[in-house]
Amino acid sequence: MTQLLAPAKLNLALVVGPLRPDGKHEVATVLQAIDLCDDVTVEPADSLAIEGFAEDTIVRAALTQLAEAAGVAPSWRVRIEKRIPVAGGLGGGSSDAAAALELANSSLATPLPDEELRALAATMGADVPFFLCGGGPQLGTGDGSDLLPLDLPSSYTVVLVLPQGAHKESTAAVYRRFDERHGARGFEERRSQLLHALDGVNNSKDLATLPPNDLVSSPLVQALERLGAFRADVTGAGPVAYGLFETAEAASRAVSLLQRSGRCWIARPLSQPRSPTALAR
């Protein structure tokens, strides 16, 4: 196996709490992978090289740490074919890193055990362990990397909208503004509301009961709801907004009316965690 599809993710809910002693924020988030994917190829090489995406830093850092942990030289050539919009809140960089870690680790004479690989992934970012899980919905707690599988419905179509002319703030800046407005107040109550709402999700439209993103909002959320989305929100630290639609036809109609608002994609949720080869090519 030398190639994997690296899926994007949605935060179907993102409840954010206070700053932790480790400098990260306490969160409770519902993570869902979707079938908008990058292609990641890893092959043996004389040294570490990343091709196809000049802006990458996380894949290089992840494989450097993997090599150090395994006691080998970082000798892989990685090619990334980007389809996931960069810096949109969809986790594309984290997903690329997870795919590269999985492929590079499998190429080692003595691969790291799964638990050790997940621990290494967590040092790369809170979303990276989720992508190692492969796609099924997960509840992320702690800094987001403590994961619990969820049984959620997946009979919906996703519309993604990257606002026209959007300039992504750094994630650190988004969290800093959250702290400045004392956004963590009431975290325990909001987290309890999220967990209670999850207990009541029996069909796709019940996802509408999940609380909104604590970090950011967008007028595109209301636009998506007016066009028929039963659930709409911003994913991650934004700026991409998403809407969940009951049918592909309804999603397509919404996209036709949102073209002037920004770049649009249609996607489907990945309902099950992947096996080691389920997303391989």
Same domain, yes or no: 9 and 130: yes
Same domain, yes or no: 190 and 130: no
User: Active site includes 205?
Assistant: no
Same domain, yes or no: 92 and 188: no
272 in a structural domain: no
Instruction: Based on DSSP, count helices (H) and strands (E) in the chain, helices before strands.
Output: 8, 10
275 in a structural domain: no
- pLDDT grade for 202, boundaries at 50, 70 and 90: very high
What's the pTM?
A: 0.94
Same domain, yes or no: 100 and 228: no
What's the pLDDT at 1?
63
Question: For 27-41, 61-75, 158-172, 191-205, which range has the lowest pLDDT when averaged over its residues?
Answer: 158-172
Domain span at 54:
3-149
123 in a structural domain: yes
279 in a structural domain: no
Same domain, yes or no: 13 and 145: yes
Whether residue 165 has pLDDT greater than 90: no
Among candidate residues 9, 38, 96, 233, the one labeled active-site is 9
Same domain, yes or no: 14 and 145: yes
Strand boundaries in 172-277, DSSP class E: 231-234, 241-245, 262-267
Same domain, yes or no: 185 and 241: yes
Among candidate residues 38, 56, 127, 214, the one labeled active-site is 127
- pLDDT grade for 276, boundaries at 50, 70 and 90: very low
CATH code of the domain in which 166 resides: 3.30.70.890
End-of-domain residue from the set 98, 126, 149: 149
Same domain, yes or no: 129 and 168: no
How much is the average pLDDT of 173-190? 96
199 in a structural domain: yes
Tokens at 49, concatenated: 């090289």
User: Can you tell me the distance from the alpha carbon of 152 to that of 172, in angstroms, rounded to the nearest whole number?
Assistant: 30
CATH code of the domain in which 121 resides: 3.30.230.10
**Is residue 254 within a helix (H) or strand (E), and if so which, with residue range?**
helix 248-258
227 in a structural domain: yes
How much is the average pLDDT of 205-233? 97
17 in a structural domain: yes
Q: How many C-beta neighbours within 10 Å does residue 200 have?
A: 9
Same domain, yes or no: 44 and 141: yes
Same domain, yes or no: 70 and 192: no
End-of-domain residue from the set 149, 179, 207: 149
**Is residue 3 within a helix (H) or strand (E), and if so which, with residue range?**
strand 3-19
User: Can you tell me the distance from the alpha carbon of 231 to that of 207, in angstroms, rounded to the nearest whole number?
Assistant: 7
Q: Is the dihedral of CA 240, 245, 249, 250 positive or negative?
A: negative
Going from the C-alpha of 102 to that of each of 65, 71, 120, 138, the distances in angstroms are 13, 17, 11, 19
Exposure b/e, 147-160, CB count within 10 A at least 16 = b: beeeebeeebbbbb
End-of-domain residue from the set 100, 126, 149: 149
How much is the average pLDDT of 139-165? 96
User: Active site includes 9?
Assistant: yes
Same domain, yes or no: 10 and 144: yes
Asked if 24 and 86 count as a contact pair (C-beta separation under 8 A), the reply is: no
What mean pLDDT value characterizes the chain?
A: 94
Question: For 145-154, 247-256, 267-276, which range has the lowest pLDDT when averaged over its residues?
Answer: 267-276
Same domain, yes or no: 180 and 86: no
How much is the average pLDDT of 93-120? 97
Number of domains in the chain: 2
